[in-house]
Amino acid sequence: MLNYILSRFFSALIVIFGVSCLVFLLIHMVPGDPVELMLGESARPADREALRVALGLDQPVMTQLLHYLTNLVQFDLGESIHQRQPITQLLAERIPATVQLALVSLVVAILIAIPLGAIAAVKRGSHWDQLAMGFSLFGISIPNFWMGPLLILVFSLWLGWFPVSGKEGLSSIVLPALTLGTAMASILARMVRSTLLEVLGEDYIRTARAKGLSEVQVVWRHGLRNAMLPVITLIGLQLGTLLGGAVITETVFSWPGVGQLTIEAIKKRDYPVVQACVLLISLSYVVVNVFTDIVYAAIDPRIRLGDGE
Amino acid sequence: MTDVLLEVKNLNTWFDSRAGRANVVDDVSFSIRRGETFALLGESGCGKSMTALSIMQLLPNQAANNMSGEVLLEGQDLLQLPEVAMRTVRGNRIAMIFQEPMTSLNPVLTVGVQIGEVLTKHKGLKGAASKARIIELLEAVGIPDPTQRIDEYPHQLSGGMKQRIMIAIALAGDPDLLIADEPTTALDVTIQAQVLDLLRKLQKETGMAVLMITHDLAVVSEMVDRVGVMYAGQIVEMASRDDFFNEPQHPYSQKLFDAIPSMGKRDEALAIIPGTVPDLAQEFHQCRFADRCQFSWDTCQQQVPRWISGNDSRGVRCHLYDSTIENKSRVAEKVELISTSSSNTGEELLTVSNLKVHFPIHKGLLKRVAGYVYAVDDVSLRVNRGQTLALVGESGCGKTTLGKGIIQLVKPTDGSVLFNGADLTQLSQNELRSRRKDFQIIFQDPYSSMNPRMMVGDIIEEGMIAQGIGDSAEARRVIVDELLQQVGLRPEHRNRYPHEFSGGQRQRICVARALAVNPKIIVCDEPTSALDVSVQAQILNLLKDLQKQYQLAFLFITHNISVVAYLADDVAVMYLGRIVERGSVQEVLENAKHPYTQALLSAVPTIDKESKQEILRLEGDPPSPINPPNGCHFHPRCPKAINECRSEYPKSRTISSTHEVSCHLY
C-alpha cells in the first residue's frame, strides 16, 4: 500500500513539473508581443520596456524558465501587475472560498446522485427509473448561468430565504452549492445507475441473494462498493474542475473564489495572475487524481494488495 | 416413505419473448430424500440450472415470477411463500454453490465477511462467536491457515480454494439441501477430485441432501444415488444410479453414453446426435427428441410421449416403453467404422528442441526485471506427419504457451523449432508469414475467436488471401464452399455472421478457417472443452476424418483424458513448464510411470468404478511457475517423493524406445 502511494506521488511530481513548464511557455505562445497586449498599442516605449524588465522578458528563455521554476519551488508566483500584490497572497485569499464551495457542492452531488442512481438501477424500467433519469437529463441540459439566476429568483427574491450573492455566513453558500451540485449529480447519477446495473448482473450478486440477504443488503454491501470505481473517477474529474474555480457560477453569485479571480485577471490582461490561475487549475487536477488513486486502493483490495503496478 | 425432503411437482418456468412463450422448465417433477444425492443431468440449455434457480426463486429478472407448480420443502410450498419468508429459506435451509468460483465471490469483501454474513443472518452470530465459527467452517472445507485466510480477499486464493470458500458459505447455514450447480466444471481434474471428495465427506458428516446439476456422466457415476436426465426443459428419464449405468433407457441417455470418447472407441466414429435441440418457444405435439432419435417412427412425430413409470422410482418419457403403443421403431444403424490404422509414416514434421518461453516480471518505478515466469522451460518434443500428439496438464502448466511458442505466436526465449527442415525461431517476420500456411491453430472458445463483424465466408477466405491461395475471388469462393461442406455446414452459410451459429457449428467454422490454407499441422488448443459432449463427438469425428484425408498432424492441447485416449497417437504430460512423461498413448495411459501422470489419471472420474486403479490424490494447488520448487518441481505434492527429489531435477529416463519419464524413481 505504501509503495503504491509513493509511486503515485512520484508520478504526480513528474506531471507537476511538466505542467509548470507548459504554463511558463503560455506567455510566450501568446501571438504578438505580450507586453503590447497588456498595455495596449498607445503605451509609451519606456513603460513597455519597464514592464518587459519587470516580467523578466528581456532575459533568454532558458534563464527565464530557471528563474520561474526556482521561484515556484519557493511558492513565489510573482506579482500582480494591476494590484501590485504578490500573487500567492491573492490566491491565498481566494482558495479557501473555492475549496469550500467545491466540497459542499460535491457533498450535495453525492447525496443526490447515489440514492437516485441506485433507485434507478434497482427499479430498472419502472417509473422510478424514468423519474430519476428525467431529473438527470434536466440537470445536464440546464446550464449553470441559467440555473443560478433561477435559484436566486425563487429562493432569494421571492422567498427571501438566502442572500442573493456574495459570501457572508453559512446561508450564502446554499444556492451556489445547489447550482453546482445538481449539475454534477445529474451526470453522476447516470454513472451510478449504469455501473450498478452492470454489477447487479454479476455472479457474486446471485451468491449474495442465495445467502438469503435482503435486497437492501445486496445492493448496499455487495453492489454499490463494486460499482464505485468508475463513479469515483468521474467525481475526481469533476472535483478537479471545481477546485480550479467554477468560473460561471462564481461570477453569477459574486463568490470570491479563484474562478472570479481568473475572469478578472483575463479582463485586465494581468498575465502573471492568469498564469498562476492556470497553474493552480492544473495542479488541482493532479492532486485530485492522486487522491482518487488512493481512494481506489482503499475500496478495491486487488489494487491495494497488488504490488502497486 | 416420509423422509422426503424436497418434492418438486409439475414445475413450470417460462420466458416470454417476441417469438412466444418458452417453457425452459416444463412440467418437471422429482423428489429428494434426506441425505440423498440426486443429479439433474443434461447438456447446456436443457433447463437443469433453471430448475435449480426456480427452486431457490433466484430466476433472472425477466422471468422472476414466471413459475407454476409446487416446490414442497417438508410439505411447505415454497412458491407460495412471500419473498421475505423465502429469505429465511435461502442460505439457511437450502444453500447453493455455483459453477464459476472465480466470479461468484465478491472481490471487495474478505472471505470472513462473506461467510459471516450468513452466520449473522441465519444464526444470529456476531463478533467473536461468529469468528470462531468461520474458522471452524474454513477448517471443515480444508482451507489451510484459517486464522490467516479469514482476512484475505478472493483474488488471493486459487480457483479450488474459492470453491471451498463457496462451500463454506453454503455450509454456514447448516442447510438441509445443498444445490451444487456444476460445482467442478471450471476446475482442473485434480482439484475437481479434491472438491468432490470434500462434498462427499461433508455430506456424510452433516447428513444434508445434495441436488447436483451436471453435464458430466462420470461425476454422476461417482457422486449420486439417483439421476434425472433432462432434455429440452423436461425430465426424460429417472433412475437409480446403478439402473441408469447398467441400462440407460431413453435413446437420448444412450446417445450421451455413446458420445463419450474412450480408448476402446479409437477405431470407430463416435456416436453423434444429429440436428439441434428444438426451439422451446412452441407448443409441442410430438416427442421433443424425435427429430434426432435413431429409433423414431411416425407416432413419435404425432404424439407427445407420456411418462412411463417403472418399478423403484424408475421412469422414462419415450414411446418405446409404452405398452399401449405399437413399437414400430427403426433398427438403429451400426456406428460406422473408420479405419485409423495409424498413418504413421515415421516422417518427422516438427521437432522442438529445448524450447523456452520466459516472461519477464517488471517491478517498481523503473520497471526493472524482478524475475521470470518460466512458462515453458526446456521442452523437447516431436510430431510426425499425419500423427496426433496430445499435450496434457493442469491449467497454468504452460501447455497453451508451448503451443503458441511453437507456431511463433509468442517469441521463444531460447531453443529451436524445426519444421520441415527450417528453424522457425530464426526466420524473419516476412519469411515466417509466408510459412504460416503450414501451421494453423484452433482456439478453445469458438465464441470469442472469430471477429463478430465479419461474415463466415470472409473469415475463412482471409487466410487464403494473405497466403495468396486461389487466383481469383471466384476461385476462392469455390474453395470456401467446399470447405464449408467438408466441415458439415452449407455453402449458403458463407453470408452469415458467427453469432447465428451454435457453439459446435462455430468450432466447425474455425476448423474450416484453419484448413483453408492447406496446413500440415494444426495446433488444437482445447477445441472441445467449451462444447457439450454430443457436440464434442462431432468435432472429434471431423478432426479424425480430416487427419486421415489430408495426412494432417495435430498438436492437441487438452486436459480431457478421454479425448486423449480416443484421438492421440502420442502423449506428452506437462507440469510447471516441463514435460515430465511422454510416450505412445497406450504407454502413458495404461502404464503411467510418473507419479504426476498417475495422479492425474486417477483424479479423472470414471463411469465404471471397478476399472479404477490405485487412487492417488494430490493435495494443494500447483505451485507458481515464477518460483518453481527446487529439485523436481512436483516433489512438494508427490506422494512418492524421495530425498533426491528435493535437490535435483530428474533427468529423462528411457522406459521403452518411445516412452520417457523424468523421475528419480526410475
The domain segmentation of chain A, as residue ranges, is: 2-73, 92-267
Q: Which three cell numbers stand for residue B546?
A: 480430416
Task: Give chain B positions within 8 Å (CB) of A209.
Answer: 58, 90
Cβ–Cβ contact A273 with B under 8 A: no
> Cα angle at B428 between B427 and B432, to 5 degrees?
65
pLDDT for the residue numbered B365:
61
Facing B87 at nearest CB: one of A214, A222, A309 = A214
CB B529 within 8 A of CB B507: no
Nearest CA in chain A to B116: A211
CA dist., res. B592 & res. B2, Å (int): 49
Task: Give chain B positions within 8 Å (CB) of A305.
Answer: 153, 155-156
**Per-residue pLDDT averaged across A1-14, rounded?**
82
> What is the per-residue burial (b if ≥16 Cβ within 10 Å, else e) of A23-36?
bbeebeeeeeebbe
CA distance B369 to chain A (A): 13
| CB contact (8 A) between residue A212 and residue B109 | no
**Per-residue pLDDT averaged across A281-285, rounded?**
86
| CB contact (8 A) between residue A226 and residue B117 | no
Instruction: Name which of B63, B6, B11 is nearest B35 in CA terms.
Output: B6
CA dist., res. B7 & res. B33, Å (int): 9
Residue A58 vs residue B128, higher pLDDT? B128
Q: Phi and psi of A162, rounded to 5°? A: -130, 155
| CB contact (8 A) between residue B108 and residue A299 | yes
ipTM, two decimals, is: 0.81
Please report, as a single letter, which amino acid is at residue B15: F
Sheet holding B177-181, edge to edge: B94-97, B177-181, B209-214, B37-41, B226-231, B234-240, B315-316, B308-309
> Cα angle at B56 between B54 and B60, to 5 degrees?
55
| CB contact (8 A) between residue B156 and residue A299 | no
Interface test with B, best of A199, A211, A302 (most B CBs within 10 A): A211
Whether pLDDT at A280 is above 80 = yes
pTM: 0.83
Task: Give chain A positions within 8 Å (CB) of B90.
Answer: 209-212
Helix (H, G, I), strand (E, B), or coil: what is residue B583?
Answer: strand
Nearest CA in chain B to A4: B364
| CB contact (8 A) between residue A211 and residue B103 | no
How many other β-carbons are positioned within 10 Å of the β-carbon of residue B371?
Answer: 13
| CB contact (8 A) between residue B153 and residue A302 | yes
CA dist., res. B554 & res. B565, Å (int): 14
Q: Output DSSP code: residue A237.
A: H
Task: Give chain A positions within 8 Å (CB) of B109.
Answer: 221-222, 225
| CB contact (8 A) between residue B122 and residue A212 | yes
| CB contact (8 A) between residue B155 and residue A302 | yes
Task: Give chain A positions within 8 Å (CB) of B117.
Answer: 208, 211, 213, 217, 221
CA distance A219 to chain B (A): 12
Q: Which three cell numbers stand for residue B66?
A: 414466471
Task: Give chain B positions within 8 Å (CB) of A213.
Answer: 87, 91, 117, 121
Interface test with A, best of B90, B99, B104 (most A CBs within 10 A): B104
Interface test with B, best of A204, A216, A302 (most B CBs within 10 A): A204
Cβ–Cβ contact A267 with B under 8 A: no
Q: Which three cell numbers stand for residue B266?
A: 479409437
| CB contact (8 A) between residue A302 and residue B107 | yes
Nearest CA in chain A to B370: A307
CA distance A218 to chain B (A): 11
| CB contact (8 A) between residue B91 and residue A7 | no
Please report, as a single letter, which amino acid is at residue A92: A
Task: Give chain A positions within 8 Å (CB) of B56.
Answer: 210
3-state secondary structure B592-618: CCCHHHHHHHHHCCCCCHHHCCCCCCC
pLDDT for the residue numbered A152:
86
CA distances from A260 to A19, A256, A279, B303 (A): 22, 6, 15, 83
Q: Which three cell numbers stand for residue B401?
A: 504457451
Q: How far is CA B493 from the centre of its chain?
A: 28
Integer-rounded Cα radius of gyration of chain A: 24
CA distance B177 to chain A (A): 13
pLDDT for the residue numbered A307:
46
Give the B-side interface with A, CB within 8 Å. 56, 58, 61, 87-92, 95-96, 98, 100, 103-110, 117-118, 121-122, 153, 155-156, 166, 169, 173, 362-363, 365
Q: Which three cell numbers stand for residue B367?
A: 520497471
CB B440 within 8 A of CB B514: yes
CA distance A212 to chain B (A): 4
Whether pLDDT at A172 is above 90 = no
Helix ranges restricted to H, chain A: 2-29, 34-39, 45-55, 61-73, 87-122, 127-141, 144-151, 174-200, 203-210, 215-217, 225-243, 247-252, 258-267, 271-299, 301-304
Whether pLDDT at A2 is above 90 = no
Split chain B (666 residues) into runs of 10 and give each run's mean pLDDT. 84 86 90 93 88 91 84 92 92 91 90 94 91 92 88 88 92 93 85 88 92 91 92 93 91 90 85 82 88 88 89 87 80 57 70 92 74 89 92 88 92 91 89 89 86 91 88 90 87 87 86 91 89 86 89 91 91 93 92 91 75 66 83 89 90 90 90
CA distance B90 to chain A (A): 5
CA distance B103 to chain A (A): 6
CA distance A303 to chain B (A): 10
Which residues make Cβ contacts (< 8 Å) with residue A71, sequence separation at least 6?
A77, A78
| CB contact (8 A) between residue B106 and residue A309 | no
Q: What is the largest CA-CA distance in chain A?
A: 83
CB A246 within 8 A of CB A180: yes
- Which A residues in the span 120-159 are in contact with B, Cβ-Cβ below 8 Å? 124
Cβ–Cβ contact A207 with B under 8 A: yes
Nearest CA in chain A to B53: A210
CB A77 within 8 A of CB A150: no
| CB contact (8 A) between residue A300 and residue B106 | no
| CB contact (8 A) between residue B106 and residue A207 | yes
CA distances from B307 to B234, B259, B286, B304 (A): 11, 25, 14, 10
Q: How far is CA A35 from the centre of its chain?
A: 31
The CATH code for residues A92-267 is 1.10.3720.10
Q: Which three cell numbers stand for residue A245?
A: 474555480
Task: Give chain B positions within 8 Å (CB) of A230.
Answer: none
CB B213 within 8 A of CB B49: yes
pLDDT for the residue numbered B41:
93
Helix (H, G, I), strand (E, B), or coil: what is residue A56?
Answer: coil
CA distance B600 to chain A (A): 30
Q: Give tens-digit pLDDT for A103-117.
A: 999 999 999 999 999
Instruction: Name which of B227, B196, B203, B173 is nearest B56 in CA terms.
Output: B173
pLDDT for the residue numbered B339:
54
